[in-house]
Structure 1
C-alpha cells in the first residue's frame, strides 16, 4: 500500500543534492561478487575509506549508491552483526557514499520521531528518524551515519519541512566507523523502537523485513 502512495507523490525533494551536469553516480557492489573488496580492506576503516574514495575517483563519480536488498559480505568486519547463530548481512536501505559533510535534506514534510548516537563499532553512529503522513498513512525515514552535531537541538515531535537541511555525512569517528555515507531507509512500523531500527537483517528473515522496509528509491529516485 505504501508503495502505491509514494508513487503518487513522486518526485520528492532530493535527499542529497546532485547536479546532473557535474555529479555522476557509481553503482557499488558490496556482495561476495566484488572480489576487490578484501577482508584486509573491510577490517580497516582507513583502508575501507580509501577504497571507496579511489573507486569514486577512478570512475569520475561524486557519489556511490546501492545496497537495497543486497546480501553483503562487509558486515563480517565486526561482532555487531554476528551475535547470533545466523549473522545479519541482508541490507534494507540504500547507501549513498560520498564526502564527509555532504548535506542531507528532508524529502517531505514530517516530524522528528527519534534520534540517537548509536556508537557501537559498525552501528549507525549519529542517527535521525523522521515520521511522515501521506493520505493518513504513517511511515518513517531513517538517516544513519550522520554528523554528531546534527543531533543538537532536536526534540521529538519537532516539525521538519520538505527540502529542509537536516544533517550531514559524518566522519569515521561519529558515523559508526564507516567510510562516509548516508544510510537511507523507509520503515513502516517502528515496532516501538526509538532512535534505532535494524538496517541489516538475517537472510532467513528478509521477507518480513522487506515488507516493513520498502525500496527507498521510491523516494530517492536515483537508482539506474
Structure 2
C-alpha cells in the first residue's frame, strides 16, 4: 500500500485487520500482543501512505481548513473523485432501476447533461477535473459504478453476491486449521475495501482479483479432509 500510495487500499487493510480480530476472538485465539502488532503495522502503513498521498485529500482541507487564497488551491485527485461521484449520483437518480446499462466507460450522451450543474456545484475545481464533453466518463469506484450503470437491480445482485461470500467465509472460519480458516475472510475484506477506490473494468488487475477472491471463498471446504 505504501509503495503504491493508494489511499483507498487502506480501507482494505482496515477491514482485513478487523476480520482478523473478530475471527480470532470468535475462535478463542485472540492474543492482545498480536492484535497490537497488527494495529501498529496498519498505523505505519497509514502514515506512510498519507505522507505520500496526503495532498490528494484536498477536499478535506477545503471543508475544514482556512479559505483558499486562490481558486483551485485545494484541488486534488479525491476532489475529482467527488465530482465524478456527484455526476454518477445524478445519473443514478434519473435511471434508478436498471441504470444506463453496463458500459465500462460511459459515452458522453449518458452524462454531459449533468456537467453544467457539476461545474456550478464544484466551481472552485479546475476544468480538467470534470468529465470531458467529447470523451468518456471513467468510473472511479466500483460501488457507485454498479449503481449508475446497473441501478438498484445491479446493486441488489452485488449485495447478495457479497453477502453469500461473507456467509461462506464465516462458515469456513470455523475450521480447525487456523491458516485456512482466516484466508477467505481476509481476502474478501481486503478486496471489498479496495473496490472503494477503483472501478470494475475488463482486464483490470483489481477486477481479476475480485473474481479470484470469490473463487477462493467458494472453493474452500467446510472441513479439512482427514
| TM-score category (smaller protein) | under 0.3
Higher strand share: 1
Which structure has the bigger radius of gyration?
2
TM score, norm. by length of structure 2? 0.25
